[in-house]
Structure 1
Amino acid sequence: MSTPVWLNGRLLDATDAHIAPNDRGFLLSDGLFETIRVANGQAPHLARHLARLEEGCTILRLPTPDPTLLTQAVSDLLHATGLSDGSLRLTVTRGTGPRGLVPPVTPQPTVLIQATASALAVPAPVRLGLGRYRRDGGSPLARVKSLACLPSIMSRMEAVAAGLDDALLLGMTGAVAEASAANILFLREGRLQTPPIHDGALPGTSRARLLEGGFCTEGRLLPQDLKTVTGVWLVNALSLTAVSDIDNYELPLHPERDRRLREFLFSV
């Protein structure tokens, strides 16, 4: 038996879960998703993810799934899978529709939650390079975790082909926005900063927690200023990863600061 999933109100074996061929998420990337950390059998920051999901649904004019229903669905799926540590992927599409771009007047969203186990491990430092795709921080869509991930996919593929681990994406402003699947933190003049939303950064949940906790502030980072930073990390809901070099510019590692950030982010 394969791992259970939650699909449209039901717990199903993954082999019995089917998405319609005319689902707009499959055909048009018309939807969004959340990646949610699971620790000790709980999703400690689920409320933040559901709040961002609601904001994204509002931007996309997509009916927002009932958060009470989703909270129960997460609980049911964690119980059914016995997942202790890992992640959940919550995907919401506009559901099925006729051919073409115009959605149905009253969409019936498809909602899928999948569970994945993963070991608790500190990622090895990574090497980055500047990518050629840009994020438009002036667009409302830059605030949405859209299913349309091709710029990130291509950025990661091209970085790996160049012998790197990941790429940094610039915003339309010309400043650094984020990596392909993570926000960026950078240490400059002893202060930890992260790019602002208007430079193209996704409003990540871990990014928000670090800002609220006073661990960092917002700050613009232009490509020509990369050699002024003395430390860089990538952060998302699941991990904190130190960066060892960017475009062959070696960066020092900071084990003690790394430890403090990791403790704040992942101790609960």
Structure 2
Amino acid sequence: MTRTGGEVATGVLVVTGGSRGIGAKICELAAERGYAVVVNYSGDPAPAEAVAERVRAHGGPGLAVRADVADEQQVSALFTAAEALGPLVGVVNNAAITGNTPGRLDEQRADTVRRVLEVNVGGVFLCCREAVRRMSIKHGGAGGAIVNVSSTAARTGSAGEWVHYAASKAAVNTLSFGLAQEVADEGVRVNVVAPGLVETGLHEAAGLPDRIARIAPAIPLRRPGQPAEIAEAVLWLLSPAASYTVGAVLEVGGGR
């Protein structure tokens, strides 16, 4: 099926960091909407396989593929594996880390910050490059859509916790806008979803189990978001309903 104007039809969707939290919900909702889904993960295979099984329960192909998005060869292998399911029509760059070391910038280790930038920025770059090489009409593709998952921290700065993480997400916003200008007329739409505080296991894993309860009162809606709410925004940007949306940063943060 030929796609024009960057619109995407059902086909193969690669979701990085798809085994947990927001990524898992994106995979499941995409499966409900007819996509074949590649569930990328980098650690424990069990959660990723469980998500792939839920994808298959919706009647379509689901494949869990291990790859560190900061590793060029592993990213190439991830997209090669995706080709076995059919034509690529979408990529969601969701994989990201905080470094699990909250604190002021002057307390951070250089190797921790370096790894955050390698995954959060370098990983998005590598996956976007592979996606464009497959979906752009310049390269013989039929078009598609890329949604990069950023954070409202890119705007708020995350002072006292993860300034390096916030900086990495600001870089994702800029990378996405620039890439959107490059490939919009090649049938590839690039956009960003920037979640605010979302109820996932990230906070506890980072050593801040009280973070949600502490921040939620400052949100106009007085509650954290749910992964499914972020997934809905991502799937909208992937869909033909967003066919005239290019280079946008869609904040889903309850007003904060």
Taking structure 1 as the reference length, what is the TM-score of the superposition? 0.25
Higher helix residue share: 2
Query: Larger relative CO (CA 8 A, sep 6+): 1 or 2?
Result: 2
